[in-house]
Amino acid sequence: MHNVLMEVQDLSYQYADGTQALKGVNLQIFRHEKLAVMGSNGSGKSTLFLNLNGVYRPTQGKIFFAGQPLDYSRKGLLELRRKVGIVFQDPDNQLFCASVAGEISFGLYNLGLPEEEIRQRVDDICSKLSIDPFRDKPTHFLSGGQKKRVSIADILVMRPELLILDEPFSALDPKHAQMIDQILAQLAHSGITVVIATHNAAQAYRWADRVVILHEGRIEAEGAPEQIFSDKALLQRTNLLPPDLLLLTQKLQQKGLITADASPRTVEELCALL
């Protein structure tokens, strides 16, 4: 299909210690979609992401990007990581340059881009993500929320087609979580395909076009958020809880206060129905 950006076919991955982290995973990621991948710890989310980015190579199966199988040569992986960027759960595992500006420009220098283009891209992304006030600071002096923004800028400055974020809201206070939420909305609006791993059902329900549930290394289910989070047996089987907003919506529907086909994704949308 022309709108499939990335496809995983029969993907399995086994670690050196024998742990089978992924078992026959089949998945399509569509252009311009917002995809949430959920599952308990150890379900295989991070392993899947590292396979998509070429950090890991499948034990079995194939991965395709824009219809072409991944090329694991040095040149092929460099090209892949320009198009498929991953932001790790802990920014400290990603940031290693002395200054924020040096961190964000590092990948661009590796690409051999002209100095003027590098400066322009760094200026643009610092402005877009509100990094300008601390762009000249050492990265180790930044707060957790600032580090998260810089780690996202690291990838966005490369202008990827697919952005993967592993638990983007972990260890953030509500203010910085809201800021990252707004950034993700801007990215999706700009046409970048965004995939996140999250334990936050409310976030996935509000934000995602589609939800994929990983369980013990396999895809247990996938579908629209309303479909996934209304399946009580699925949620119990995979140790997930439904979002409070969906539960409230269902109660209001039972009482006849809103129509049975209503599916508000935010509190504001729900209030507008009352």
**For residue 164, which phi and psi values (nearest 5 degrees)?**
-115, 130
Low pLDDT (below 70) residues in the chain? 1-2
Please report the pLDDT score of residue 1 as a whole number: 45
**What is this structure's pTM?**
0.90
Please report the pLDDT score of residue 144 as a whole number: 85
How many whole angstroms separate alpha carbon 3 and alpha carbon 141?
42
Q: Which residue bears the tokens 């699925």?
A: 234
Which residues are 211's β-sheet partners?
36, 223
Residue 240 CA, distance from chain mean position: 18
How many whole angstroms separate alpha carbon 64 and alpha carbon 28?
9
Per residue in 189-238, pLDDT tens? Answer: 888 999 999 988 998 999 999 999 999 999 999 999 999 999 999 999 99
How many whole angstroms separate alpha carbon 168 and alpha carbon 182?
12
Sign of the Cα torsion 171, 214, 184, 262 reads negative
- Residue 10: which residues within 8 A CB-CB, separation 6 or more? 24, 25, 26, 60, 61, 62
Give the SS3 label for residue 37.
strand
Please report the pLDDT score of residue 2 as a whole number: 58
